[in-house]
A and B are shown apart, each in its own frame.
Chain A
Amino acid sequence: MRTRAVLGGVFSSAAILIGAWSLSGAPKAVHVAAAATTTGTTTPGSGTASSGTSGSAGSGSTGGASPAPSSTASAGKASGTYTGSVVSTQYGNVQVQVTLSQGKITDVTALQLTDREGRSVQISNYAAPILRQEVLTAQSASVDTVSGATYTSEGYLTSLQAALDQAG
């Protein structure tokens, strides 16, 4: 009878695993660019400048969830807070908010970061500060992606570029 139990156990487990494997599909390479499609557009209120949040470089990330309206700035050099588009990657959505002062990037705040798996949360938390620093130094979205955090980097920089485009 013990043999019946062990055979039953082995066969049922094998069936479950084989079934799950075939349903899950073999590993397939997904191209990063293909995965990072721009979905949602700008959130209401974003892009308009406000006096409240302008300036103060490095003032940290406050009020990440609801972007504050920004006040007008002088023509040419934009000032204020701009929210980028939501970029969806296979590990979750990425969205950043940029603060400009007279056309200068003074802060980047991540509103959403890849969070689909605990693993990508860790990657995000590791990559975001590096990207922010690089962007502040380069004053543009054309910086290198962080190795090991390609998805997060691509999404981050894409969203940032969208925000900068709004600022004009």
Chain B
Amino acid sequence: MNTGIAERGWSLPEAASAPSEDYRSALRRRLFAADLAVVLCWASTAGAVALYLLSGGVSQIHSKADAVTALGIIAGLAGTNLILIMLLLAARIPWLDRAVGQDVAIGWHRRLGKPVLYLILAHAALLTLGYAATDGLDVVGETAAFLSNRDMILAYLALALLLAVVVTSLVAVRRKFPYEAWHLIHLLSYAAVLLALPHELSYGGVLAAGTVERIYWIALYLLAYGAAAWYRFAKPLLLSLRHDFRVVSVERLAPDVISIHLRGRELGRLGIAGGQYATWRFWSARNWWHSHPLSFSAMPHGDLLRITVRGAGSGTAGLAGLRRGTRVWFEGPYGLFSRHARSAPNLALVGAGIGVTPLRALLEDSRHSGGETALLVRASDESQLYLWEELHTLCEWHGGTAFADVGPRSRATSSWLSADAVRRGVSLQSVFPRILHSDLYICGPGPWAELVAQEAKALGLEDHQIHLERFDS
């Protein structure tokens, strides 16, 4: 029953009656939510320290050793609060995805990694020094005293795990690991935070019965672990079972590019917006153990869905051999690279290579808004103009134009355009005359996408007009 899939996969959107939308109030709401998220991160960390101060923490300082101990406690409280915020940022919470996008949330999560490690290391060092001074022991003796306690042994173990998680995430180190190995190590952070819990209960008085601190910390732990358990694990599993996706066919577009057609149930309930992606897991002997984020390359049509994949490494290359009927699990849809991020009347799309996939679905999902639509695709040769026919047709339907910039990149200057285009003086402004009143969607390899974004910023586009999707994380 897979006849006509290709046709249906890229049928034109129904002529939308929606007039020019007022993006402004939606944008204002979104930016407010984004800023609120940042303020909450700061304020809750301050709040955790404040609760300690209010519980009389500082009034018990009688000596230098007490002061060192108090600082160590504060470092530990702030660090733990931030770790729980990191778990929340990585928990795929829909509210956060709609406000800032999954990639931005993960960007914040990454930025917190090192500060958190430093705070926790300071916590361990300061408390060892402070206790040692109070007990009249040296650091070695105090550490030995700590290690005679079961809860403290677990806490040291948690610290070691945390170190492993952060160190393997340093850019230079992370490259040395396959993605799956890194990811597995990273998931240990859930264990690390739990291993640290017993010593917080027994040594740290923060959870003493009947205090506000106890209520705060229990709530934060429940929130972080509850959100992760639900949004990262339970919900994707339930959705995968509900929609029950199966491979219908694998279509080869180029030697290293395939489209995978999927059939599932009740696709309307997924609420997919063009430009979004999901993380896919294919249950075949060769592929079940790795999952990949892949954009929808077309909007759902009936019970059919399409993703288009370039063999970037051994994982994605293996997908070409998928059999009809293979069970498919997914996490998603995620991402703000969609019409939900619109803030201006015109649409300017720039893609490179396989980066056209979300642009293809975004075009299909965009309404006539009275504005202009234009697309520029960058490819080093003709064979890399994937889905070109569809992109061209959709642009025409929008009354716009699709440009292709084909050719090797410039060696002399670092430009996101081909050497030929650079010579002819092509620029963002020349391709998109109304760029200043456009939403610019850029999708492709990270460094290339950055170059486009830089040029846009230099032209005076606001941050909220520039939408980036990087395929290489």
Hey, which bits of chain A sit against chain B, CB under 8 A?
1-2, 4-6, 8-10, 12-14, 16-17, 19-21, 23-30, 90, 116-123, 126, 147-148
Q: Give chain A nearest CB distance to B207 CB in angstroms.
A: 9
- For B35, give the chain A residue with the smallest CB separation: A5
Q: Give chain B nearest CB distance to A38 CB in angstroms.
A: 21
Interface residue ranges of B454-473 to A (CB < 8 Å): 463-464
Q: Beyond A116-B205, A119-B205: 15 further Cβ-contacts under 8 Å?
A: A2-B35, A8-B39, A8-B42, A13-B45, A14-B46, A17-B49, A19-B50, A26-B59, A30-B62, A118-B201, A119-B69, A119-B203, A122-B131, A123-B135, A148-B136
B47 CB-CB contact with A under 8 Å: yes
**In whole angstroms, how far apart are the Cα atoms of A24 and B35 in the complex?**
30
**In whole angstroms, how far apart are the Cα atoms of A73 and B87 in the complex?**
65
25 CB contacts below 8 A, A to B, read A2-B463, A5-B39, A6-B38, A8-B42, A9-B38, A10-B42, A13-B43, A13-B46, A16-B43, A16-B46, A16-B47, A17-B50, A17-B53, A23-B53, A24-B59, A27-B62, A29-B62, A30-B59, A90-B60, A118-B203, A119-B205, A122-B149, A122-B203, A126-B135, A148-B136
Q: Flag if B136 contacts A116 (CB, 8 Å).
A: no
**In whole angstroms, how far apart are the Cα atoms of A121 and B463 in the complex?**
53
Q: Flag if A147 contacts B136 (CB, 8 Å).
A: yes
**In whole angstroms, how far apart are the Cα atoms of A147 and B63 in the complex?**
13
A148 — which chain B residues lie within 8 A by C-beta? 134-136
**In whole angstroms, how far apart are the Cα atoms of A17 and B47 in the complex?**
7
Q: Give chain A nearest CB distance to B139 CB in angstroms.
A: 15
B208 CB-CB contact with A under 8 Å: yes
B41 CB-CB contact with A under 8 Å: yes
A19 — which chain B residues lie within 8 A by C-beta? 50
A1 — which chain B residues lie within 8 A by C-beta? 31, 34-35, 463-464
- Name the 10 nearest CB pairs between A and B, nearest first: A9-B42, A20-B50, A117-B205, A118-B203, A13-B46, A5-B38, A5-B35, A16-B46, A20-B53, A8-B39
- For B37, give the chain A residue with the smallest CB separation: A5
Q: Give chain A nearest CB distance to B314 CB in angstroms.
A: 38
Q: Is the interface of A mostly helix, strand, loop or mixed?
A: helix
**In whole angstroms, how far apart are the Cα atoms of A148 and B65 in the complex?**
10
A6 — which chain B residues lie within 8 A by C-beta? 38
Q: Give chain A nearest CB distance to B103 CB in angstroms.
A: 15
Q: Flag if A17 contacts B31 (CB, 8 Å).
A: no
B56 CB-CB contact with A under 8 Å: yes
Q: Flag if A9 contacts B136 (CB, 8 Å).
A: no
Q: Flag if A21 contacts B43 (CB, 8 Å).
A: no
B61 CB-CB contact with A under 8 Å: yes
With contact pairs A2-B463, A13-B45 given, residues A117 and B54 touching in the complex (Cβ less than 8 Å): no
Which of the residues A5, A13, A17, A30 comes within 8 Å of B34, measured between beta carbons? A5
**In whole angstroms, how far apart are the Cα atoms of A111 and B1 in the complex?**
79
Interface residue ranges of B132-175 to A (CB < 8 Å): 134-136, 145, 149
B57 CB-CB contact with A under 8 Å: yes
B284 CB-CB contact with A under 8 Å: no
B202 CB-CB contact with A under 8 Å: yes
The CB with the most chain B CB atoms within 10 A, among A21, A23, A148, is that of A148
A118 — which chain B residues lie within 8 A by C-beta? 199, 201-205
A13 — which chain B residues lie within 8 A by C-beta? 42-43, 45-46
B197 CB-CB contact with A under 8 Å: no
A123 — which chain B residues lie within 8 A by C-beta? 134-135
With contact pairs A17-B46, A118-B205, A148-B135 given, residues A8 and B38 touching in the complex (Cβ less than 8 Å): yes
Which of the residues A9, A14, A23, A25 comes within 8 Å of B41, measured between beta carbons? A9
Q: Flag if A24 contacts B38 (CB, 8 Å).
A: no
B436 CB-CB contact with A under 8 Å: no
The CB with the most chain B CB atoms within 10 A, among A4, A19, A119, is that of A119
The CB with the most chain A CB atoms within 10 A, among B39, B41, B131, B201, is that of B39
B58 CB-CB contact with A under 8 Å: yes
Q: Flag if B59 contacts A25 (CB, 8 Å).
A: yes
Which of the residues A10, A27, A90, A116 comes within 8 Å of B208, measured between beta carbons? A116
With contact pairs A1-B464, A117-B208 given, residues A20 and B51 touching in the complex (Cβ less than 8 Å): yes
**In whole angstroms, how far apart are the Cα atoms of A23 and B56 in the complex?**
9
B202 — which chain A residues lie within 8 A by C-beta? 118, 121
Q: Flag if B39 contacts A12 (CB, 8 Å).
A: yes
B149 — which chain A residues lie within 8 A by C-beta? 122
Q: Give chain B nearest CB distance to A145 CB in angstroms.
A: 13
**In whole angstroms, how far apart are the Cα atoms of A117 and B58 in the complex?**
13
**In whole angstroms, how far apart are the Cα atoms of A4 and B49 in the complex?**
23
Q: Give chain A nearest CB distance to B225 CB in angstroms.
A: 22
B38 — which chain A residues lie within 8 A by C-beta? 2, 5-6, 8-9
**In whole angstroms, how far apart are the Cα atoms of A61 and B62 in the complex?**
33
A117 — which chain B residues lie within 8 A by C-beta? 204-205, 208
- For A17, give the chain B residue with the smallest CB separation: B46
With contact pairs A20-B54, A118-B203, A119-B203 given, residues A27 and B49 touching in the complex (Cβ less than 8 Å): no
Interface residue ranges of B205-256 to A (CB < 8 Å): 205, 208
**In whole angstroms, how far apart are the Cα atoms of A19 and B51 in the complex?**
11
Q: Flag if A27 contacts B45 (CB, 8 Å).
A: no
**In whole angstroms, how far apart are the Cα atoms of A30 and B62 in the complex?**
8
Which of the residues B35, B136, B205 comes within 8 Å of A8, measured between beta carbons? B35
B39 — which chain A residues lie within 8 A by C-beta? 5, 8-9, 12
**In whole angstroms, how far apart are the Cα atoms of A20 and B55 in the complex?**
9
With contact pairs A1-B34, A5-B38, A116-B208 given, residues A24 and B57 touching in the complex (Cβ less than 8 Å): yes
Q: Flag if B136 contacts A121 (CB, 8 Å).
A: no
B56 — which chain A residues lie within 8 A by C-beta? 24
Q: Give chain A nearest CB distance to B24 CB in angstroms.
A: 13
B49 — which chain A residues lie within 8 A by C-beta? 17, 20
Q: Flag if A26 contacts B58 (CB, 8 Å).
A: yes
Q: Give chain B nearest CB distance to A82 CB in angstroms.
A: 30
Which of the residues B45, B53, B62, B463 comes within 8 Å of A24, measured between beta carbons? B53
